[in-house]
Structure 1
Amino acid sequence: MKVPRSFLKNIPPVVSLLFILLFVYAGMSKLLDFETFQAQLEQFLFFGGFVAWVSHGVILLELLIAGLLCFGKTRLLGFYLSFFLILLFTAYILTIINLAANVPCSCGGVLDALGWKEHLIFNVFFIGQDLIGILIERNRKHDFNYKNTT
């Protein structure tokens, strides 16, 4: 069964919207409760003296990715960066689960209510969404470039 192109072209904007909502929500909730976010990161010894850099960097990256996902020309880059960030968060969660289960989640807001294992499932879902967005957006860009060069 072949999926119609009109259906496929609507998937990346919808997936983008999910990530925009996720990253704006997560970034703003961290920013609004910045001291708590930094304190929770400090409990995880891996970051050491880099907590200030990591805490600022995560928020800026989340908001930058959300911005990139807003526009068709930068959407693929936004998908790649969100994939990278979600993978980093997933590695962080796996490390927490295996080494330091007593560290609280530093996500903020509603996501703060998730346990580490639920958060892992949440991340795996978004990794899947990201892969779908990347594959469709890459194919769309490839088809567009191919049509314009022939």
Structure 2
Amino acid sequence: MKYLKKIIPFAVSVFFVILFCYAAISKVLDFENFQTQISASPLLNGFSQFLPYTIIIVEFLIAGLLCYPKTRTTGLIGSLILMIVFTGYIALLLRTGKNLPCSCGGILEKMSWNQHLYFNMGCVILSVIALVLNLKYSRPAD
């Protein structure tokens, strides 16, 4: 059972590495569209000059942190924060009732806002579980 508690943070980290790299690469490959979608958002249009670059860099940075055991905790914290921010943004958009395009990139772009909210909430839960288990079971023995 202890082995399973150590493998879960690793598996969740692999999931987030794939998710963040996929999303970042999709955004890079269709950067003009990504930038246009961000500037179309009433919540983000004031940040549309630097936000697209920032999101891509942060996604790649967190993916990199998740790749190494020594930086995995920091990467899991980053994943949790990023997913909370993305989830909060989607929740705010749903409250405004505006039908805006998703600026996520790739297959994630095909989800409805409600599907995306549930997906992100699941990711938040996964990151919390992985972070707790990583903090508890991935430390060297004293």
The TM-score normalised by the length of structure 2 is 0.95
1:90 counterpart residue number: 87
Larger Rg: 1
Of the two structures, which has the highest relative contact order with CA contacts closer than 8 Å and spacing of 6 or more?
2
The Cα of 1:46 is off from its aligned counterpart by 2.2
Residue 69 of structure 2 corresponds to residue 56 of structure 1: no
The Cα of 1:100 is off from its aligned counterpart by 4.5
* CA shift in 2, pair 1:38/1:100, >3 Å: farther
2:65 counterpart residue number: 68
1:109 counterpart residue number: 106
The TM-score normalised by the length of structure 1 is 0.90
- Structure 2 runs not aligned, ≥5 long: none
Residue 47 of structure 2 corresponds to residue 45 of structure 1: no
One-letter code of the match for 1:40?
Q
The Cα of 1:45 is off from its aligned counterpart by 2.0
The Cα of 1:59 is off from its aligned counterpart by 0.4
- In the TM superposition, 1:1-150 aligns within 5 A as 4-141=1-138, 143-144=139-140, 147-148=141-142
> How large is the RMSD of aligned CA atoms in angstroms?
1.2
* CA shift in 2, pair 1:19/1:6, >3 Å: same
Identity %: 38
- Structure 1 runs not aligned, ≥5 long: none
Q: Residues 82-134 of structure 1: CA distance to partner in whole angstroms, max 9, x if unpaired?
A: 10000000111011111152111011111111000000010011111101110
Q: Tell me the distance in 2 between the aligned counterparts of 1:115 and 1:72.
A: 35
Query: Which contiguous aligned blocks of 4+ residues in structure 1 show a shift greater than 4 angstroms?
Result: none
Q: Tell me the distance in 1 between the aligned counterparts of 2:14 and 2:98.
A: 32
